[in-house]
Amino acid sequence: MLALTDIRDWLKNKLVGVEFTLAPISADSPRCIGLYDGKESVAERVCLGGLAQTHYQHRKIVICVHWPGDPEEAQEKAAEVHKLFLELIKEPMGNERVVRSNPGGQPLIAPQAQNGECEYVINIELDYERMV
């Protein structure tokens, strides 16, 4: 199964100098990117013959770009992350290979807090295959 840690490790190689978290982001967190399970769970597909014959799976994730300070920088960073997933095809992540990525139309801005925090959310659907 494609784990959030696999996606995080892949992003670390693409976005140097950025902090990542799989935990909730607090209001006083520095600039970071959070990775979370998608809101809608998808039942695993199992082919006839069992899991050994099943090669493709589907995964939904949510990425939150938490960028306090300049809203323009936040938008640019969110667009950069969005573009990475928009161009993603046949890319290995952990023991899986992503064959299709759909990051949606554009990053969605979350309501801005009083202290100037700026967050963008990207909802991503991934189809991947096992590399065996």
Q: Of the candidates 92, 40, 31, which has an alpha carbon nearest to the alpha carbon of residue 61?
A: 40
Cα angle 118, 27, 5 (rounded to 5 degrees) comes to 85
Residue 82 sits at φ, ψ, to 5 deg, of: -60, -45
CB contact set of 6 (below 8 Å; sequence gap of 6+): 93, 94, 95, 96
Structural domain boundaries, residue 60:
4-130
State pTM to two decimals.
0.87
Average pLDDT over residues 14-37: 89
> Is residue 51 a contact partner of residue 93, using CB atoms and an 8 Å limit?
no
Closest-CA residue to 34 (of 70, 58, 65): 65
Sign of CA dihedral 62, 68, 71, 74: negative
Predicted confidence (pLDDT) per residue in 79-111, tens digit: 999 999 999 989 999 899 999 999 998 999 987
The DSSP bridge partners found for residue 127 are 58, 100
Spell out the residues 6+ positions from residue 17 whose beta carbon is closer than 8 angstroms to its own. Answer: none
Which residue type occupies 111? P
Model pLDDT for residues 31-85, shown as the tens digit of each residue:
899 999 987 666 666 667 776 766 788 889 999 999 887 888 989 999 999 999 9
Closest CA to 37 of 9, 8, 16: 8
pLDDT at 101: 95
CATH no. for residue 66? 3.30.2000.30
In the chain, the number of structural domains is: 1
Residue listed under structure tokens 């306090």:
68
